């Protein structure tokens, strides 16, 4: 590929010299800066015994880097171990005892968040899933029509985990604002692949974990909460890091830290934070418009190769309406994922598809070769 824009950064991912890793919808490739952050944590622990302040600084840096990636400030970010934990904390702080008790989500969201919303039925929430339309994605008109004055929360994945369907969150934010509902965006499949600006798009809350396109490892997830909104939340799920001064150790005093920090709970995932900071710092060196454009070009290659090989896809056929992931329909996805790995291609199985999910460091040749190999293994 002659116009590959990230040749220099690609060198930071040693695995790409001998394998084709296309699994960023599940786990992205390990970069040298991230490996060094892991080693530094281990070294500090091994040699100094403890580096509490250094490790906490890693978590703070991760918050700042995540904030920078999405156009927010560091004090608008809280961390927990997973997006599911964050969703539970946030929704548990909302009131469902009035007429405004609806949660509008979509059938394409990751099931875990759907489960979190459903668990709120016990507190009076009414959950409405907008179903997929004839083309397989969520039709914007249907989604906007489902949001009305009864809606407390609109909750959706910007890019769906299965087929990579992309939703225009700014349009949804506009509608949510019109009727006085809050918007929660699950950006686990989008952050790190396209430009995000929470203020420009009017997003109230946006969450993502580090493991997928953020180049980190599992065990840490971030949430942006608009400053004015954060000040109104008193989450039932709390802990000492949600206090004004966590080190006051006042067992009788339940105060609330300013901003998103009040959503923090117990000791943060410090190793994961140091790792996430390194991955996010690498991403923040890149131009996110160039990353999005490159991934769109790779989507075009993926869709073309799917057609060339006579395969079917569960993804949108227009690269502008999808994220990085192209879902290829196959008979035995789990077995094929294994056989692809044996052939040197790391891809991700879910249900009836193999997800081919490149990141900025992947080339068109890698995507084409992977899908051709997948087709021949599927035929064999």
Span 100-119, contacts to ligand PLP by CB under 6 A: 110, 112-113
Q: How many residues bind ligand PLP (CB under 6 A)?
A: 13
Burial of 97 (0-12, 13-18, 19+ CB in 10 A): exposed
Q: Does 161 bind ligand PLP (CB under 6 A)?
A: yes
Residues 188-207 that bind ligand PLP (CB under 6 A): 188-189
Only one of the segments 77-85, 191-199, 242-250, 355-363 lies at the binding site for ligand PLP (rule: CB under 6 A); that segment is 77-85
Q: Does 21 bind ligand PLP (CB under 6 A)?
A: no
Min. distance of Cβ 323 from ligand PLP in angstroms? 10
- Measured CA to CA, the distance from residue 265 to residue 256 in angstroms comes to 11
> Which is closer to ligand PLP, CB of 191 or CB of 375?
191
Which of 82-90, 118-126, 230-238, 272-280 is the region at the interface with ligand PLP (rule: CB under 6 A)?
Answer: 82-90
> Under the criterion CB under 6 A, does residue 185 sit at the interface with ligand PLP?
no
CB 67 within 8 A of CB 73: yes
d(CA 52, CA 159): 36
Per CB under 6 A, which of residues 83..102 are in contact with ligand PLP? 83-84
Burial (Cβ within 10 Å: 0-12, 13-18, ≥19) of residue 174: middle
State in angstroms the smallest separation of the CB of 276 from ligand PLP: 12
Judged by CB under 6 A, the chain residues 218 through 237 that form the site for ligand PLP are: 221
Q: Which residue of 209, 259, 268, 323 would you call a contact of ligand PLP, by CB under 6 A?
A: 209
User: What is the DSSP secondary-structure string of 171-205?
Assistant: HHHHHHHHHT-EEEEE-TTTBTTB---HHHHT-SE
Residue 291 phi, psi dihedral angles, 5° rounding: -65, -50
Buried residues in 8-40 as b, exposed as e (16+ CB within 10 A): eebebbeebeebbbbbbbbbbbbbebbeebbeb
**186 lies in the site for ligand PLP, by CB under 6 A:** yes
CB of 105 to ligand PLP, least distance (A): 12
At 284, list the tokens: 């923040």
Of 263 and 375, nearer to ligand PLP (C-beta) is: 263
Q: How far apart are CA 127 and CA 144, in angstroms?
A: 15
Interface positions with ligand PLP (CB under 6 A): 82-84, 110, 112-113, 157, 161, 186, 188-189, 209, 221
């Amino acid at each position: 590929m002659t116009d590959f824009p990230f040749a220099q950064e690609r060198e930071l991912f040693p695995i790409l010299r001998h394998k084709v890793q296309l699994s960023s919808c599940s786990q992205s490739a390990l970069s040298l800066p991230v490996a060094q952050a892991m080693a530094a944590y281990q070294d500090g622990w091994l040699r100094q015994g403890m580096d509490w302040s250094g490790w906490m600084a890693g978590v703070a840096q991760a918050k700042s880097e995540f904030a920078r990636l999405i156009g927010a400030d560091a004090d608008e970010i809280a961390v927990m171990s997973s997006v599911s934990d964050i969703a539970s904390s946030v929704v548990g702080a909302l009131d469902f005892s009035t007429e405004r008790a609806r949660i509008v989500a979509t059938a394409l969201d990751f099931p875990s968040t759907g489960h979190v919303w459903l668990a709120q039925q016990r507190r009076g929430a009414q959950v409405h899933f907008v179903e997929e339309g004839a083309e397989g994605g969520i039709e914007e008109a249907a989604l906007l029509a489902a949001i009305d004055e009864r809606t407390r929360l609109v909750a959706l994945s910007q890019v769906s985990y299965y087929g990579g369907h992309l939703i225009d969150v700014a349009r949804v934010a506009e509608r949510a604002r019109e009727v006085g509902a809050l918007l929660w965006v699950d950006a686990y499949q989008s952050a790190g692949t396209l430009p995000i600006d929470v203020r420009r798009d009017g997003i109230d809350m946006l969450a993502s974990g580090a493991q997928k396109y953020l180049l980190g490892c599992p065990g840490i997830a971030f949430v942006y909460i608009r400053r004015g909104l954060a000040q109104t939340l008193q989450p039932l799920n709390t802990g000492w890091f949600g206090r004004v001064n966590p080190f006051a150790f006042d067992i009788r005093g339940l105060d609330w830290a300013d901003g998103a920090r009040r959503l923090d709970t117990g000791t943060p995932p410090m190793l994961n934070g140091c790792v996430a900071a390194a991955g996010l710092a690498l991403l923040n060196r890149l131009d996110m418009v160039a990353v999005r454009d490159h991934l769109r070009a790779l989507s075009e290659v993926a869709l073309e190769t799917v057609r060339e090989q006579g395969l079917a896809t569960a993804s949108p056929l227009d690269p502008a309406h999808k994220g990085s992931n192209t879902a290829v329909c196959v008979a035995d996805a789990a077995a094929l994922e294994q056989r692809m790995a044996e052939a040197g291609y790391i891809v991700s199985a879910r249900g009836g598809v193999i997800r081919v999910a490149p990141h900025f460091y992947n080339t068109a040749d890698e995507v084409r070769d992977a899908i051709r190999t997948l087709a021949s293994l599927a035929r064999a």
